[in-house]
Amino acid sequence: MKIIHVADPHLTPPGERLFGLDPNARLSAAIADINAFHRDAALVFIAGDLVNDGKPASYAALAHALGTLKPPCRLLMGNHDERSAFRAAFPDHPVDAAGFVQSVCETPEGAFVLLDTLDPGHDSGRLCQARLDWLKGALRALAGRSVFLAMHHPPAPIGVPVLDRIALVDEEAFAEVIAHSGVNIRHIFCGHVHCLTHGAWRGIPFSAQRSLIHQFEAPLAPLDERIVGSYEHPAYSIAVIEPRSIAIHVREFLDKSPRFSLANPVARRARSPSEVPKLASRSGGLSGWPTPNA
């Protein structure tokens, strides 16, 4: 089973830029790439910070763009989101009984439980008692099953103080619910940190994803106090989930560098990349690559 993990598109009203970049163009490029290569994904989820400013016009742009996405899609709230504006633009998106953007999505390899960690007015994340109670009930109904969690804020500190200060504030209460859930939580997918971060929290593997727009440079030294924006390539992840394994591949969908055949002896002996025979563009139907989905 294939799952596509997208994070932090930070959409703006069409025409508005962010750090000199066009978030709407980035999202369209990501959707085109997913449609070309991963139309067979069981689920695409966008792990929060759907928009940069909470504006209705940004959510309208998001709804318009997602209208072209082929696989099924679920959306999460991040600290840049505005829940009521989101719900107005996506009236059919599942929410819990209290109106939080939380839901369970069944997939062939287990249930995805999507959590809402938005705490209005704060960049940190919160799972208040109402949300934790919902989670407790959702996990109780899934007892004995394999479960995946998706949430904007990572559940654990990641060693970057400026980000850890805006982490999930009720980690202990969340951990308590997880510990007594009776489900097998196989992985937690996150956003928020705008860089490729993999780790484990209380024995559960988690991964966070690059943004579709600006990135945060990974710390250059342990406990680096700065946070530095960068123009590293945007990416989404492809999680290949099987009964006994999970593999996560990063797709830098704007990378247009030439492709070449590893089996070509001329390529192997080349003294510089310019001497290497190039293959046709991957999206153009490359011999030896998986054929893009029609």
From 7-15, 36-44, 52-60, 161-169, give the range in contact with Fe ion by CB under 5 A: 7-15
Nearest to 43 by CA among 225, 241, 278: 241
Contacts with Fe ion, 66-105, as mask; x by CB under 5 A: ----------------------------------------
Q: Which is nearer to Fe ion, 37 or 216 (CB)?
A: 216
49 binds Fe ion (CB under 5 A): yes
Beta carbon of residue 216, minimum distance to Fe ion (angstroms, whole number): 9
Q: Which is nearer to Fe ion, 77 or 183 (CB)?
A: 77
From 1-9, 198-206, 229-237, 257-265, give the range in contact with Fe ion by CB under 5 A: 1-9
Per rule CB under 5 A, count of chain residues that contact Fe ion: 2
Reported in sequence order, the residue ranges of 191-279 that DSSP labels E, i.e. its strands, are 197-201, 204-208, 215-216, 229-230, 236-242, 245-251
Q: CB under 8 Å to 212, separation ≥6 — which residues?
A: 6, 7, 8, 9, 10, 23, 26, 27, 30, 234, 236
Beta carbon of residue 52, minimum distance to Fe ion (angstroms, whole number): 8
Q: Which residue has the tokens 């504030």?
A: 169
Q: Which is nearer to Fe ion, 226 or 268 (CB)?
A: 226
CA distance 57 to 63: 10
Is the alpha carbon torsion for 263, 269, 270, 273 positive or negative?
Answer: positive
Is the alpha carbon torsion for 221, 80, 234, 114 positive or negative?
Answer: positive
Query: Crossing angle of helices 56-66/23-37, nearest 10°?
Result: 20
Beta carbon of residue 117, minimum distance to Fe ion (angstroms, whole number): 12
Tokens for 115? 């959590």
Cβ pair 74, 103 in contact under 8 A: yes
3-state secondary structure of 253: coil
Q: Which is nearer to Fe ion, 7 or 156 (CB)?
A: 7
From 2-10, 37-45, 67-75, 178-186, give the range in contact with Fe ion by CB under 5 A: 2-10
Beta carbon of residue 238, minimum distance to Fe ion (angstroms, whole number): 21
Q: Which residue is nearest to Fe ion (CB)?
A: 49
8 binds Fe ion (CB under 5 A): yes
Q: Which is nearer to Fe ion, 50 or 156 (CB)?
A: 50
Q: Which is nearer to Fe ion, 23 or 110 (CB)?
A: 23
Q: Which is nearer to Fe ion, 49 or 170 (CB)?
A: 49
Q: CB under 8 Å to 64, separation ≥6 — which residues?
A: none
Where along the sequence are the contacts to Fe ion (CB under 5 A)? 8, 49
